[in-house]
Structure 1
Amino acid sequence: MGKEKSVEGVIDRFEEDLAVIKVDFGEIVWPKDKLPKGVGEGSVIHLKINSDKEETENKEELAKSLLKEILKDSS
């Protein structure tokens, strides 16, 4: 996997099943059920983001294969 990045945010509010998280560059809307247990409005959280080169390559190969199959069937 690629280098991991982290974004700090504060849970601002809940709107139905979604959490609105304030970050330096705006807001992120996140499913409430994907948050850690025990967090609430005002809780500071860290969202960790990383890339997965191997999975990206697998999805690209699958897309190429499907496109090749579609084009073959249409000729």
Structure 2
Amino acid sequence: MSEITFSNDEKVRMAARVKKYFVDELQQEIGSFDAEFLIDFFAREIGPYYYNRGLKDAHQLASEKMDEVGYLVQELEQPEGY
């Protein structure tokens, strides 16, 4: 798997959300550098769990849709002559 990267705009928006969370929930201010450091930490240490869950969910959905396609194809089958 290649490393996941975010644009500068995405990083700025994520850091702003982390900073807001710290103020709103923990009554503590942190700087942008600290917020970006936390984002990098969580992305590296926790991100794979979310990524793998997303893959699992996508696989399940794809399997369900393929089953549906299989049933639709069966419905298209023509009776064979005797």
* Band the TM-score falls in, shorter-chain normalisation: 0.3 to 0.5
Q: Which has the higher strand share?
A: 1
Return the index of the structure with the highest Cα Rg: 2
TM-score, normalization by structure 2? 0.35
Q: Which has the higher helix share?
A: 2
